[in-house]
């Protein structure tokens, strides 16, 4: 079975679970791991940079890329599009670069269908109460928006059993270390190796 040279890692997690901090720690720990920048039509948040956090597109620009088949997957959440460009995955993985993607449960399921060898990780909160307190504490959600977020969290929780791994984020560094361990272990799978037949080398 031919496997991709690089590893494709998909990380998901509820809004407010702290996955952004964890992901950055994982990227800092693994030099061969590159973040796949997704496209979105939502407005940039304070501190976000186009081409670094996301490619920020207008709705018409996004739909033009859909028509051209440039996305390997895309979804629409609330009023915004989110999508992953094919160019962010295929070339780098074939060249031996590990790619990390941050996707919601729909996007992760779509990627798993297209790239069965990918590794999926769901970042969980210590408890529902802790997650709700974090969302309220951010002060960025209206009452209606918070209600919608909590409903979304309940729906997303049903997808967790379909992930390869679930890691609880109590302390960000410890959570990141576990994910780094997962990635390193996945590289050692015999199904990903192409040089195990030491007794019958090719002439």
Given a contact cutoff of 8 angstroms between Cβ atoms, the answer to whether 7 and 155 are in contact is no
Given a contact cutoff of 8 angstroms between Cβ atoms, the answer to whether 72 and 84 are in contact is yes
68 annotated binding-site participant: no
13 annotated binding-site participant: yes
Residue 176 tokens, joined: 């990141």
17 annotated binding-site participant: yes
Given a contact cutoff of 8 angstroms between Cβ atoms, the answer to whether 192 and 3 are in contact is yes
20 annotated binding-site participant: yes
Cα 44 to its chain centre, rounded Å, is: 18
6 annotated binding-site participant: no
Of the candidates 67, 50, 61, 17, the one whose C-alpha atom is nearest the C-alpha of residue 169 is 17
14 annotated binding-site participant: yes
Residues within the annotated binding site? 13-20
Residues within the annotated binding site for ATP? 13-20
């Amino acid at each position: 079975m031919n496997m991709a040279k690089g590893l494709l890692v998909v990380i998901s997690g509820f809004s407010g679970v702290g996955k952004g901090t964890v992901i950055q720690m994982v990227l800092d720990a693994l030099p061969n791991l590159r973040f796949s920048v997704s496209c979105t039509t939502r407005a940039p948040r304070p501190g976000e940079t186009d081409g670094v956090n996301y490619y920020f597109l207008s709705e018409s620009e996004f739909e033009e890329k859909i028509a051209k088949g440039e996305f390997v997957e895309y979804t629409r959440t609330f009023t915004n599009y989110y999508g992953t460009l094919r160019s962010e995955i295929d070339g780098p993985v074939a060249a031996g670069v590990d790619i990390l993607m941050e996707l919601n449960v729909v996007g992760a399921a779509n990627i798993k269908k297209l790239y069965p060898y990918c590794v999926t990780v769901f970042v969980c909160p210590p408890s529902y109460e802790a997650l709700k307190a974090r969302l309220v504490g951010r002060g960025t959600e209206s009452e209606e928006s918070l209600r919608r977020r909590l409903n979304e969290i309940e729906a997303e929780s049903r997808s967790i059993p379909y992930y390869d791994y679930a890691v609880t984020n109590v302390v960000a560094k410890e959570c990141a270390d576990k994910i780094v361990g997962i990635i390193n272990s996945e590289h050692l799978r015999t199904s990903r190796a192409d040089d195990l037949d030491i007794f019958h080398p090719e002439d």
